[in-house]
A and B are shown apart, each in its own frame.
Chain A
Amino acid sequence: MASSISLPRAESTNPLLNALRIVPGILLLAGIGYAGKILEHSVNAYAKSHHWTFPNIEYVLWAILIGLIISNILAIPKIFQPGIATYEFWLKLGIVLLGTRFVLADVLKLGGISLRLVVIEITLSLALMTLLGRLFKLKPKLTSLLAIGSAVCGVSAIIAAKGAIDADDEDSSFAIAAILALGALSLFTFPAIAHGLHMTDVSYGLWAGLGVDNTAEATAAGALYSDAAGKVAVLAKTARNAMIGFVVLGYALYWSGRGQAEAITNKAAFLWKKFPKFVLGFLLMSLLVGFHAFSKGQVASLGNLSKWAFLLTFAGVGLRTNLRDTSKQGLRPFIVGALGEVLIACLTLGLVVGANRIWGL
């Protein structure tokens, strides 16, 4: 999980030893990701040579499935854990490099639309989750964590908010487990629904970016539909991530006002601390491409490097999803999360359909 990310965490005073600790897990991520890529080509070639009508299963899904099988059927030896935990680093690296595949005008146009939708989505999601939490009589801080996780950006938002609102470890674990389990479900439900509705790549990408909570799952859910949808999903999700500081600050002020969290002395510093800096890297890359800092071939190379980084991320998404751990968590937070997620998915789908009519996506 995000809380155990370490790159390179200083467990020992020897930096070389620390670097070596993450190597086995990174090799496992790369192996699973590459196996997914090989499977995509092999299965498609086999189906084609035998004249079968077989759906094109992309490497994204193969990598996630292999990871899920390994983490849920086999026990992953401890030696791999530090390296597996780097999947979030690869995700952020992939997002920064993906900036090269966007023309700045597209970022401004789609990003602008995304931001407007994000503000509506966050406002309605926070209100909805708070209402559900009260209806199901969840603890107030657990409700806050679930609301932040569902409205903004999943696990990372929950971890960022945990310290700010002084929530219990147990509440955080509940909220994280619910968000992760629901994120795993969305990987399969979002593309299926979108295919049924014949959504365009841009519309679906926006929906995945707005409706799927965790950045890794949103990226994967987008890429499962198409490469173009994956790009838009990352852009929409990045716009959503940019709002994390404002939402967490709002909750921190609310709880400190009630004397149940530390007071915020410097709001600007708080916002900067919580702001996801990789968003700036994404914009910088797009800007550099806009100023022709790279040739066409170099842009293609950077785009491919981004894909390799995502390959490791998708393997990590499967590996860190442990269904047994999830089932051990409480039922009520899960029901609240699930109900909320279904309603948020419907709400964001409605937003995207509305945006499509207004802006013709």
Chain B
Amino acid sequence: MNPYRLKEIFAAKQARRERLASLPIDQKVDLIEQLHQLAHTMIEARESSQKSADHRAGR
């Protein structure tokens, strides 16, 4: 990949991080709550997937 392109990508990521870091507190809390919900959904999906795999394997 062109190193100049990479530099742009990293700069955009840094700008996004700084924007998210400086959101007003209630917007931040909304985001934290959404991420909290997402984490639970992902764990439930992983557990469900593991159960299915165990079932298929006869465990």
Q: Does B bind A? A: no
B residues sitting closer than 8 Å to A (CB atoms) are none
